[in-house]
Amino acid sequence: MAYTAKESRYSDMKYNRCGNSGLKLPAVSLGLWHNFGDNADEYNMKKMCFTAFDNGITHFDLANNYGPEAGAAERNFGKILHNHMKSYRDEMIISTKAGYYMWPGPYGDLGSRKYLIASIDQSLERMGLDYVDVFYHHRMDKETPLEETMGALDSIVKSGKALYVGLSNYDGETMKKAADILADLKCPFVINQNSYSIFNRTPEKNGILDACEEKGKGMIIFSPLAQGLLTNRYLGGIPEDSRVRTDGRFLNEKSLSAEKLEKVRKLNEIADSRGQTLAQMALAWVYNHKAVTSVLVGASKPEQILDNVGMLGNTEFGAEELAIIDSIAMGEKL
């Protein structure tokens, strides 16, 4: 069945510039980290992509190692794109990354020029694309000179294989050094990707939020829902079909103490008072930070995407609300 996007797809979504660049991203972007591997249902993958695009989500975020198996998410997304959404390619922002282990031997990991240039070629082949809109270095690599890694990103742009570059999982100090190198190379570095949520305050501690503002770079947030913890999934305990039971790599039973689940219930009460689901409030909380360009959501079904987009109905917080949320998340008494 041919896919035709809704004509009203841009009516409700908000779009924000990545720092000082001309590139705009939707307030909500779709990540394909989970649920787009070879173990995923093809029809459900298509419906999630269609639902996202129909609701103004123009940005689809991948990485070379997303699966399972590694490479599967890029390959599956490429099939959906070419079989159903090819006519909308120029309305889409497609990003991918390299930096984690991808193939055996010394050239399939980290941040060498050899690895990054080989990886972008493989990613483009899997997705059937001539270029991606954003290509990220996926993590810091202390073993490789920063100049080499940034030079590789610059070469990838100048070869026409990416329009912009980004950095993922960098701290503020390293990002600023990288930004200076890329500026000297006149390479369009526009976006950082980091994990941030009500429960995970690492970007507040490692300086990346302040660095993005200082250098005029955008910031897109992954895991804003703490791997699904900040949703209604765990309000009544741990469901048997939850990611905790079926995967456990990034969220497991040890991290879901009775104290943590009680915090989730208290946060849900705040969300309810705002007329939002817990997921909507958690996304709005992240999006409310002035450094944040977009929140990157994952989903296992289309309905979750619709709920996530609903956060745009209320993205403002009062000082008292923020203080209460902090006190709950940090286990402090007001």
Read off the pLDDT of residues 269-286 as tens digits, 9 standing for 90 and up: 999 999 999 999 999 999
- Reported residue count of the chain is 334
Amino acid at position 73, single letter: A
pLDDT at site 249: 58
Give yes or no for residue 252 having a pLDDT over 80. Answer: no
Place of tokens 């503020």: 172
Query: Could you give the 3-state DSSP secondary structure of residue 96?
Result: strand
What residues form DSSP beta bridges with 221? 194, 295
d(CA 92, CA 309): 17
How distant, in Å, are the alpha carbons of 65, 96, 150, 280 from that of 108? 11, 16, 17, 38
Q: Which of 70-79, 133-142, 151-160, 243-252 has the lowest mean pLDDT?
A: 243-252
User: Residue 88 corresponds to which amino acid?
Assistant: Y
Spatial distance between the Cα atoms of 331 and 334, rounded to a whole number of angstroms: 10
In angstroms, rounded to a whole number, what is the distance separating the alpha carbons of residues 299 and 186?
36
Q: Nearest-CA neighbor of 148 among 110, 176, 186?
A: 110
Q: Distance between CA atoms of 279 and 109, rounded to whole angstroms?
A: 34
The CATH code of the domain at 18-330 is: 3.20.20.100
Beta bridge partners of 220: 193, 294
Give residues with Cβ within 8 angstroms of 309, minimum separation 6.
Answer: 12, 13, 28, 55, 56, 57
Residue type, 134: V
pLDDT band for position 257 (cuts 50, 70, 90): confident
Task: Say yes or no to pLDDT of 251 above 80.
Answer: no
Question: What is the structure's pLDDT at 1?
Answer: 66
Contacts of 257 (CB under 8 A, 6+ apart): none
Residue 334 has pLDDT above 50, yes or no: no
Q: In Å, how far from its chain's centre is CA 138?
A: 11
Asked if residue 254 has pLDDT above 90, the reply is: no
Q: Give the mean pLDDT of 199-203.
A: 97
Report the predicted TM-score, pTM, of the whole model to 2 decimal places.
0.94
pLDDT for position 20: 97
The residue extents of the domains of the chain are 18-330
pLDDT tens column, 93-129: 999 999 999 999 999 999 999 999 999 999 999 999 9
